[in-house]
Amino acid sequence: MRASATGRVLHDPRGGSFRFDAGAVCLDFAHTGGDGRYAVFETLHKPADLGEWLAQPPLAAVMTVPVTARELTAAKALRQAIWDAAHARAARRPLPAGAVATINRAAAAAPLVPELAAVGTTAGWATPVRATQALSTLAREMIELLSGPLSGRIRECASDDCPLVFVDSSRPGARRWCAMERCGNRHKLRALRARQATDP
């Protein structure tokens, strides 16, 4: 995985968008949609949508083999497993066995293989580049995150009505919000209004 910033722009179906950096590409991937009440946020409607997401930085895995419907199904299963595992860790609950099995299954496939360009100053992914390899790379990153030093820094946004999860990699470990310009500012505004209401 490239050493560049994580994060994506998320779009609210009710209007508006904001930049959200989950602190890990696998967690960014967990926020591409979902089932049930999260279906309105779905961005991976067809195999090509998955290929387009994987091609974006920092992963920048441009598919040389078209994504299949089966790979899209596997991607959504991995996405749900990452989501479930991240929320369990954030709540200090045991990880769901099904999520662990799904992540391990995805990680068992061959991952993306980095390849140095001829000039020796840039790198890409060795061809062929398949979605299954990219999913393996994401699953392996999640395994490292859950078993590594930042495991205790996986958090859910402190807002009552925001389920976004992130890894707090800040030095003081004081991150509370999915994004300061979204939930952080809303919290500040609510606190200000509450103070104004109680001030004589």
- Provide the angle, in degrees to the nearest 10, between the axes of the packed helices 97-107 and 131-147: 130
User: For residue 31, which of 14, 17, 43 has the smallest C-alpha distance?
Assistant: 43
Residue 192 confidence (pLDDT):
53
What does the block give as tokens for 9? 């722009």
pLDDT band of 11, cuts 50, 70, 90 = confident
Q: How many CB atoms lie within 10 A of CB 110?
A: 10
Percent of the chain residues past pLDDT 70, beyond the cut: 86
Task: State which of 7-11, 76-80, 117-121, 164-168 shows the largest mean pLDDT.
Answer: 76-80
Question: How far apart (Å, rounded) are the C-alpha atoms in residues 62 and 48?
Answer: 11
Considering only residues 5 and 101, tell me which one the structure prediction assigns the higher pLDDT. 101
* pTM reported for the whole predicted model: 0.87
Question: How far apart (Å, rounded) are the C-alpha atoms in residues 194 and 35?
Answer: 36
Over residues 95-111, the pLDDT tens digits come to 999 999 999 999 999 99
Over residues 13-46, the pLDDT tens digits come to 666 787 889 999 999 999 999 988 889 899 999 9
Residue 86 confidence (pLDDT):
98
Per-residue DSSP letter, 172: S
